[in-house]
Chain A
Amino acid sequence: MIAAAVPIETPSVDLWAIAPIMALVATGVGIVLLRALLRRHAAVTPAAFGLSIVGLLVAAGLLVRQWNLVRDDGPLTSFAGLVRVDPFAVFLGIVVVAATLAGVLLSYSYLRREGLEAPEYFALILLSASGMLMMTTANDLIVVFMALEVLSIPLYVLAAFDRRRLRSQEAGLKYFVLGAFSSAVFLYGIALTYGATGTTSLTGIATFLSQNTLFEQGTLLMGLALLLVGLGFKVAAVPFHMWTPDVYQGAPTPVTAFMAAATKAAAFAAILRIVTTAFPQYRDDWRPIIWVLAALSMLVGAIAAMAQNDIKRTLAYSSIAHAGYILMGVYATTSRGREAALLYLLVYAFMAIGAFAVVMIAAPSPDDAKHSYDDYRGMALKRPILGGLLIFFVLAQAGVPLTSGFIGKLEIFGSVAQAGETRDYILLVIGVVSAVIAFAFYLRIAYTLVTAPDDEAALESAYSTTPRRVDGWTGLVLFAAAALTLVIGLVPGTFIHFARDAVFF
């Protein structure tokens, strides 16, 4: 009987497809192992730091190799269609790895300064980044869910990493409860989609829907809506944004920078892939949802940011508004729209990291707790370079010409204007209005930085902590972020072409 049994057919496995993910996982596990072997040796944190940089560079090298491979030979599908490496995935993978590298570089001096040195920190960042890379290549709803969890669970710990600071723990707990809630909602969306179509593969769903007409649409539409709700939480789109300001404010600042730049890229990878690959037949059903999410995110993000008194909170609300602009690119549904969304994710990553890097290094009080406008008043007068950089980054986020933020917004608005229906123009007007409102609070930050308090004594005490030296790694991140923000603004051609090459699934 046993001899007659049919051998199990295993799916073809191409390890090149997941090589960057494996590099990050191996480095993360290696760091944990290192910690177990070296215990409390003084060199353990520097070693973990060095190892994580090596791992990220290896992953970046593998991604470049994959880019050349998939551009020449077409997309690579492996693991029985679970993983799909295409230019789109590699592009966002590069954004994620760059943001992770910046987050790691920022963390080193920060952890030392705050007395939080622990090698596990780097392992957590790398494991979270591996989940994000998995998310960019996921071609099956279950892989998307697993990636969502692999990226989120380390982030919950990272947000709560500052054990002595209650705000950090509170941020971690809030992120955890709402993150777990949104994952469950997302999972229910997968279950209903599976029930309606009989498959969880994104291409399988599209094939099924193009060949069959569903007898009753309710299950599938409910599933699609729940999927969008779950991912809406992750990209911080209104009305699923409640956690964002609290978590961005409470989390250690390098974690905030990493979270803002990298998580957004990964979550938008999932949104774009799900709506474009799996549900092209249902575009008339999901486009209105995206329309509402985009419009609300842009308006609520910009208006609520005006009412804030804390720089990290303001930047959190501005990240909500930016999510709205990227959703406009998703709404456009054209390849031009996808290109604009990809470009925006790239430029936003550097603008956000730059701004949070300045906030991290310039924070006036020793324990990363005071970031109110009053604490920053007159900062640019005392530290012109750092203050100037923060002004540059917020103006770039506002979309001032000659910065990358302007190019990003231009592409997004252009892609929506191209479609040319009335509701497209309405969304466009909302976007422009939101950009104008946003200018007000970005300028308020800039104004706060350059105005001196009334008298000399107040100036002395206003921004008075002993000037903190900018260490080499932070300087490198600041320089790279500023240079890229400027270069993309001045010569956008290369980067637009790069994004254009990446829109094909």
Chain B
Amino acid sequence: MTLAALEITPSYYLVLAAMLFTIGSVGVLTRRNVLVMFMCVELMLNAVNLSFVAFAKALDDITGQVIVFFVLVVAAAEVAVGLAIIVAIFRRRRHATADDLQALRG
């Protein structure tokens, strides 16, 4: 089978998106560095963006592509606030891993 015979359907993108989303969510749940956890959340959001675009292509509907812009805006706002909180903690603690944040428990 030659490479040209391989037709890339939207399903390929959906499967890739599902894999990226899984990697992102596993990362949030297992990594201990707050910045890395944060990057994993971004990975999840972008995986969803990919599936929105793939669905939009499959359904031949523009809505899915428009949604991506909303998601990008939201992600940018989240980055601004999230990094500010991380910086505020970093100023006091000099490092930012989730294991250090243990004042609240019970």
Contacts and interface: CB of A to CB of B under 8 A. Distances in A.
Interface string B18-62: 000100110010000010011001001101100110010011010
B48 A156 contact: no
- Which of A184, A185, A245 counts the most B-chain CB atoms under 10 A from its CB? A184
Contact of A173 (B21, B34, B55): B34
A379 to B, nearest CB: 21
A188 B22 CA distance: 11
Interface residues of A, number: 43
A142 B103 contact: no
B101 A309 contact: no
A490 interface: no
B51 A166 contact: no
Contacts, number: 115
B51 A191 contact: yes
Interface residues of B, number: 41
Secondary structure of the B contact surface, majority rule: helix
A133 interface: no
A300 B33 CA distance: 29
Given A146-B70, A184-B44, A173 B77 contact: no
B85 A157 contact: yes
Contact of A176 (B48, B71, B81, B105): B81
Contact of A142 (B37, B67, B85, B88): B67
B2 to A, nearest CB: 31
Contact of B52 (A160, A185, A194, A307): A194
A153 interface: yes
Contacts of B44: 181, 184-185, 188
A378 interface: no
A109 interface: no
Contacts of A307: 106
A166 B94 CA distance: 13
- Which of B38, B86, B103 counts the most A-chain CB atoms under 10 A from its CB? B103
Contacts of B92: 166, 169
Contacts of A309: 106
B74 A171 contact: no
Contact of A184 (B48, B52, B81, B105): B48
A246 interface: yes
A249 B70 CA distance: 33
Interface of B: 14, 21, 24-25, 28, 34, 37-38, 41, 44-45, 47-48, 51-52, 55, 58-59, 61, 63-64, 67, 70-71, 74, 77-78, 81-82, 84-86, 88-89, 92-93, 101, 103-106
Given A177-B37, A177-B82, A183-B74, 18 more contacts: A149-B74, A149-B78, A157-B81, A160-B85, A166-B89, A174-B101, A174-B104, A176-B85, A180-B38, A184-B21, A184-B48, A188-B21, A188-B48, A188-B51, A246-B104, A249-B104, A307-B106, A308-B106
Interface of A: 142, 145-146, 149, 153, 156-157, 160, 163, 166-167, 169-174, 176-177, 180-181, 183-185, 187-188, 190-192, 194-195, 198-200, 245-246, 249-250, 307-310, 313
